[in-house]
Amino acid sequence: MKQSRIAPWIGVIFGAIYFLVPLIATFEFSLRMERGRYSFEAYRIVLGDPNFQASFGYSAFIAVCTIIVGVALVVPTAYVVQLKLPKLRPVIEFLTLLPLVIPAIVIVFGYLRMYNSSSWLPLTGSARGTDVLLTFSYVTLALPYMYRSVDTGLRAIDVRTLTEAAQSLGSSWPRILLTVILPNVRVAVLSGSFLTFAIVIGEFTMASLLNRPAFGPYLQLIGANRAYEPAALAIIAFAITWACMGLINLFGAMGQQTQRR
């Protein structure tokens, strides 16, 4: 009996050490910029760096654009699949999983071939065009998480009956989607959005190959040239990701509470 309790604890402690020790070590190292004492000097330098602010601001903006395009694409798709084309669900699920099995570098090379400056749609010919391409790349990259999240949310409500109730009251399809369906999958959409935000903020391959001033390439650049600042940046990136995860859990708990009530 005692043995069966100890074994899981050993597993938990081993996992915690494996995960936490490098993190604590990184944090400790990031505080040692000033000789002989701990300080947040590395953080001050990083946060005060105009390139940090510009790259983080750029990535945050692209993340918001990605979320908007992703929600506009995924919510109606998942809704129509659930309501009208349930037989297509396995096909859609397979398609949305593809970004997990096709490496980002392959996707981005495909984009560069398709949308280069001498192609029929020369998106890489201008900075704005490349931003649009990067946004769509991130939509693809975040598709598995966004689709699953929204699909789970839609399965939790009686989509068909709610739709029919709204239709019988004279409502049109766009109105049903915006006023009935979307508010009822709000928590799922938010979860997908936070995951998307976390992915976009840390993404390197696509932003680097498309030559955009995003946070991922900035992290790589600092990592290659400085000692203490990369550690501070790693901790900041972790904090952002954790904040996103915390918000997912918070909204998830709120959603569950509402359903229980």
What are the residue ranges of helices labelled H in the chain?
2-30, 41-48, 50-83, 89-101, 104-115, 127-155, 159-168, 173-175, 182-184, 186-202, 205-209, 215-225, 229-260
What x/- string results for residues 177 through 206 when contact with another protein is judged by CB under 8 A? --xx--xx-x--------------------
Asked if 158 is part of the footprint of another protein (rule: CB under 8 A), the reply reads yes
The amino acid occupying position 135 is T
Q: Which is nearer to another protein, 60 or 83 (CB)?
A: 83
Q: Which is nearer to another protein, 118 or 168 (CB)?
A: 168
Q: Which is nearer to another protein, 143 or 166 (CB)?
A: 166
Closest separation in Å from C-beta 247 to another protein:
20
Asked if 171 is part of the footprint of another protein (rule: CB under 8 A), the reply reads yes
Contact criterion met (CB below 8 Å) for 121 and 115: yes
Of the candidates 73, 97, 132, 157, which one interacts with another protein according to CB under 8 A?
Answer: 157
Instruction: Give the range of 41-49, 86-94, 129-137, 176-184 binding another protein by CB under 8 A.
Output: 176-184
Asked if 161 is part of the footprint of another protein (rule: CB under 8 A), the reply reads yes
Contact criterion met (CB below 8 Å) for 189 and 153: yes
- Which residues have CB under 8 Å from 147's CB, separation 6+? 74, 77, 78, 92, 93, 96, 192
- Candidates 247, 222, 200; CA nearest to 104 is 200
Contacting positions for another protein (CB under 8 A):
157-158, 161-162, 164-172, 175, 179-180, 183-184, 186, 258-259, 261
